[in-house]
Amino acid sequence: MIIGKISRISGPVVNARGMEGIKIRDLVRVGELGLVGEVIEVKGDQISIQVYEETDGLRVGEPVKSDGKPFLAELGPGLLGMIYDGIQRPLEVIRDQTGAFIARGASGDPLHRGKRWHFVPTVKVGEPVAHGDVIGWVQETPAIRHKILVPEGVAGKIVKIKEGDYTVEEPVAELDTGQKIFMKQLWPIRRPRPIAQKITAGVPLITGQRIFDVFFPVTKGGSAIVPGPFGSGKTVTQQALAKWSDADIVVYIGCGERGNEMTEVLTEFPHLEDPRTGQPLMNRTVLIANTSNMPVAARETSIYTGITIAEYYRDMGYDVALMADSTSRWAEALREISGRLEEMPGEEGYPPYLASRIAEFYERAGRVICLGSDKRQGSVTVIGAVSPPGGDFSEPVTQNSLRIAGAFWGLDARLAYSRHFPAINWLTSYSLYLDALQDWYKREIGPDFIQMRQELLEILQKEDELKKIVQLVGRESLSEPDKLLLDIARTVRDDFLRQNAFHEVDAYCPLKKQYYMMQAILAFYKTCQGLLGKIPYEEILKLPGWEQLSKMRYVPNDQTESYFPGFIRELSAASMTKEVVA
Ligand SMILES: Nc1ncnc2c1ncn2[C@@H]1O[C@H](COP(=O)(O)OP(=O)(O)O)[C@@H](O)[C@H]1O
Ligand SMILES: [Mg+2]
């Protein structure tokens, strides 16, 4: 045990002296209360500590203790369904008004100590195992088998392994080296968990949100950022993804946002059902809450705690999606701590290492071949909300995130103001994954999926050009084909891209329905084009198809196959033209 004394206190940063042998990133206990902190700077005899709890009341001269180890996340069965703070203390009582989430200096065990899990071995006595090998599993929730992995630094032949009920601290296997394997493992959160190999991903994370799945998809293992000003829909978007995306596991980090936003998640999620398994959504979810009223240093850490848990499930061979709302608040925590350290500030007061920290975080996303002899694959998809002050995307956090993320979902204040939700700007947003995903969409959904996506996007781009002309010379001066394009573009925007996150049916749109909706719009467009010149444009505007298209998103999802093929036939040229011209 290394013991020193507090020499100075500056908000969340505390200095101490007399701690010989202490290293950067070591975990310390500060003061009489034993507040949790982490060493962030060692300068001669003096160290700087970022303290994860409120520091008021601390005094110079109080003791600081450390056993010379970094902050370690506890990994093992029982993570799913848990709600943690940034340093993985279980938050059982949420009292966002007082900010008293947890008594200071408290240390709840991240994993339940007394609970017994039924362990089923998958290897036998005599078999050699090494880091990353699966030796068995426990059924953590009805849908998730929690694989028990050989930890780092452990290798040998199994001499003892037996099916049975164990707590996370009882050994489930023993090796000829004398090493024991427990279900509980520890991992330093700032170090990425090792993998065999990163691979390129050709599978999308299906979100059930048309603007993402069709226009700007992200791969399983990819990364996306959602920047937007206050009130533009970052949190609603992140929560929709947490609810509906087809990841096996979801890690949701509420990072520095208002407490009430997190309360919504906390009260709503336990009642929600996973659309794929019918199980409670919390059975596949880990929540990490470090809201704005909680200590700033733990907010900085919450991101790493979250991604470590995500990597841990990836290592079992699962597809994990991580949402962080908001990475800007994380960056602000970084800035505050850097300021307290009196480091040389970079752009807008952020520390010069902001860019590398952001990059390191997003680089922990990826699709991988896991360590272990069975070559299983897993992925971590990272979706980070960014809240640039005043919605100005040229600021450092947005810019540095943009450089590294593969998809950019830009929220637009004007769209939000006109209540077009999700307020994703379709002209400025992009996905770099489209090439990698083309084959998947063509194979799994429809050969013309990508072609139709392209046509819709072109309609919207053309609309943008035409709108400029209309502003100058008025709509009446447009040709009929251009008028029709504007009207179809409105349908694309209002009846396809708009999606109400709070509507029973519309909140989640299956991919096949998205495909049919595109077909319906394009079929009707073609019908109308065929009628141009044959009947007055006003008559085209009176066709029932416009109204029908505006309702199709509310067709119950389980009626997709029974409704759409007939509907599309009705909208397409043959029938419609005959009726009208006759
Ligand atoms: N997809 C959506 N469907 C319906 N309403 C939405 C949607 N996205 C955002 N909104 C509306 O916008 C409001 C603000 O969104 P929110 O996600 O809290 O913004 P931010 O996190 O960017 O500050 C929400 O309370 C909701 O009324
Ligand atoms: Mg928000």
CATH number of the domain that 415 lies in?
3.40.50.300
Ligand closest to CA 262: 2
Is residue 188 within 6 Å of ligand 1 at its C-beta? Answer: no
Sheet strands (E) in 81-212: 83-84, 117-121, 128-129, 134-141, 144-149, 156-161, 164-166, 171-175, 180-182, 185-188, 197-199
365 and 236 within one domain: yes
205 and 176 within one domain: no
Structure tokens belonging to residue 3? 């013991």
Which residue's structure tokens are 């995307």? Answer: 393
Q: Write out the residue range of the structural domain in which residue 386 sits.
A: 83-95+100-105+196-432
Is residue 209 within 6 Å of ligand 1 at its C-beta? Answer: no
Q: Give the ligand 1 atom nearest the CA of 422.
A: 1
On whether residue 440 sits in a domain, the answer given is: no
- Evaluate whether 349 touches 335 at the Cβ level (below 8 Å): yes
On whether residue 189 sits in a domain, the answer given is: no
Is residue 42 within 6 Å of ligand 1 at its C-beta? Answer: no
- Read off the CATH number of the domain in which 166 is found: 2.40.50.100
Is residue 233 within 6 Å of ligand 1 at its C-beta? Answer: yes
Distance from residue 159's CA to the centre of ligand 2 (Å): 52
164 and 246 within one domain: no
Q: How far apart are CA 198 and CA 200, in angstroms?
A: 7
Helix (H) or strand (E) run with residue 435 in it: helix 434-444
Residues 6+ apart with CB under 8 A from 198: 366, 367, 368
Q: What residue's CA is closest to ligand 1, atom 8?
A: 233
Give residue 268's pLDDT: 80
Is residue 421 within 6 Å of ligand 1 at its C-beta? Answer: yes
Distance from residue 430's CA to the centre of ligand 1 (Å): 21
Mutate to test the pocket of ligand 1, among 232, 234, 235, 236 (most ligand atoms within 8 A of CB): 236
- DSSP symbol at 347: G
- Evaluate whether 74 touches 109 at the Cβ level (below 8 Å): yes
383 and 465 within one domain: no
Structure tokens belonging to residue 255? 């990072």
Distance from residue 111's CA to the centre of ligand 1 (Å): 34
Instruction: For residue 36, give the amino acid letter.
Output: V
Helix (H) or strand (E) run with residue 404 in it: helix 396-404
On whether residue 75 sits in a domain, the answer given is: no
Is residue 235 within 6 Å of ligand 1 at its C-beta? Answer: yes
Is residue 254 within 6 Å of ligand 1 at its C-beta? Answer: no
521 and 471 within one domain: yes
Ligand closest to CA 423: 1
Give percent helix, percent strand, percent coil of the chain, each to the nearest 5.
Answer: 35, 25, 40
367 and 231 within one domain: yes
Q: How far apart are CA 76 and CA 313, in angstroms?
A: 10
316 and 264 within one domain: yes
Is residue 501 within 6 Å of ligand 1 at its C-beta? Answer: yes
Q: Is 574 helix (H, G, I), strand (E, B) or coil?
A: helix
469 and 411 within one domain: no
Distance from residue 210's CA to the centre of ligand 1 (Å): 16
Domain boundary among 394, 411, 432: 432
Ligand closest to CA 231: 1
Is residue 232 within 6 Å of ligand 1 at its C-beta? Answer: yes
323 and 355 within one domain: yes
Ligand closest to CA 424: 1
Neighbours of ion ligand 2 (CB under 5 A): 234-235
Structure tokens belonging to residue 82? 């848990």
Diameter of the chain measured on Cα atoms: 95
What is the CB neighbour count within 10 angstroms for residue 359? 13
Q: How far apart are CA 447 and CA 445, in angstroms?
A: 7
Is residue 460 within 6 Å of ligand 1 at its C-beta? Answer: no
Is residue 502 within 6 Å of ligand 1 at its C-beta? Answer: yes
Is residue 61 within 6 Å of ligand 1 at its C-beta? Answer: no
Is residue 388 within 6 Å of ligand 1 at its C-beta? Answer: no
Treating both helix axes as pointing N-terminal to C-terminal, what angle do 573-581 and 560-571 enclose, rounded to 10 degrees?
50
Mutate to test the pocket of ligand 1, among 230, 327, 421, 425 (most ligand atoms within 8 A of CB): 421
Give residue 579's pLDDT: 59
CA distance to 40, 147, 207, 356, 527, per residue, from 52 (Å)? 12, 31, 34, 23, 63
353 and 492 within one domain: no
Q: How far apart are CA 294 and CA 333, in angstroms?
A: 11
Sheet strands (E) in 245-327: 249-255, 285-290, 319-325
Distance from residue 326's CA to the centre of ligand 2 (Å): 7
Q: How far apart are CA 452 and CA 446, in angstroms?
A: 10
On whether residue 176 sits in a domain, the answer given is: yes
Distance from residue 231's CA to the centre of ligand 1 (Å): 6
Q: What are the average pLDDT values for consecutive 10-residue runs of the chain, which has 582 residues? A: 95 93 92 92 93 90 94 96 90 49 69 95 98 98 96 97 97 98 96 96 95 98 96 93 95 86 77 80 91 82 96 98 94 91 91 96 98 96 95 94 97 96 97 96 96 98 96 93 98 98 94 98 96 94 96 97 96 66 54
Give the total residue count for the chain. 582
- Evaluate whether 347 touches 421 at the Cβ level (below 8 Å): no
Closest CA to 23 of 36, 41, 5, 8: 41
Closest CA to 369 of 302, 325, 432, 315: 315
Structure tokens belonging to residue 221? 């293992």
On whether residue 112 sits in a domain, the answer given is: no
On whether residue 78 sits in a domain, the answer given is: no
Q: Give the ligand 1 atom nearest the CA of 325.
A: 21
147 and 30 within one domain: no
Give residue 577's pLDDT: 56
On whether residue 437 sits in a domain, the answer given is: no
> Could you write out the three-class secondary structure of 480-511?
HHHHHHHHHHHHHHHHHHCCCCCCCCCCCCCH
Q: What residue's CA is closest to ligand 1, atom 9?
A: 233
- Evaluate whether 146 touches 139 at the Cβ level (below 8 Å): yes
CB crowding 55-68: b at 16 or more within 10 Å, else e: beebeeebebbbee
- Read off the CATH number of the domain in which 575 is found: 1.10.1140.10
Q: How far apart are CA 169 and CA 113, in angstroms?
A: 7
On whether residue 438 sits in a domain, the answer given is: no
284 and 241 within one domain: yes
- Read off the CATH number of the domain in which 11 is found: 2.40.30.20
Ligand closest to CA 230: 1
Give 127: exposed, middle or buried? Use CB within 10 Å, 0-12, 13-18, 19+.
Answer: middle
Please give the tally of structural domains in the chain. 4
Ligand closest to CA 502: 1
Q: How far apart are CA 87 and CA 104, in angstroms?
A: 13
Domain boundary among 381, 409, 432: 432
Distance from residue 398's CA to the centre of ligand 1 (Å): 20
